[in-house]
Amino acid sequence: MEKSIFTRIMEKEIPARVEYEDEQVIVIHDIAPKAPVHLLIIPRKPIATLMDVQEEDLPLIGHIHVVAQKLANKLGLKGFRLINNCGKEGGQEVFHIHYHFLAGFQEEK
């Protein structure tokens, strides 16, 4: 199976602007941001889609949510969106699960 771009980033074959990393995830800045803050939270474990998550992966999925909280606190954010595109029909382009962390939207007055 061919390595995903995310695996290649984690193996330092491709450069990326890393915001956070630990033993379970890496967080990078999206190269085509859709918001003032657009990060990708990527688990180190290669799971193709959210439909492929197993019960044994639940601690990892929970950890991703804790990392999102840490990012919000670190960046001084009051709110954010956490989005996962699942499968081709759901808009997923890289088949290694990842979450889009979007923030910095301006409040309408």
- Enzyme catalytic residues: 98
Mode of pairing for the β-strands spanning 81-83 and 99-103: antiparallel
The number of residues in the chain equals 109
Instruction: Please give the torsion angle defined by the CA atoms of residues 50, 1, 25 and 89, in that order, rounded to the nearest 10 degrees.
Output: -30
Amino acid at 39: L
At 20, give phi and psi (nearest 5°): -160, 150
Give which of 90, 88, 70, 93 is closest to 80, Cα–Cα: 70
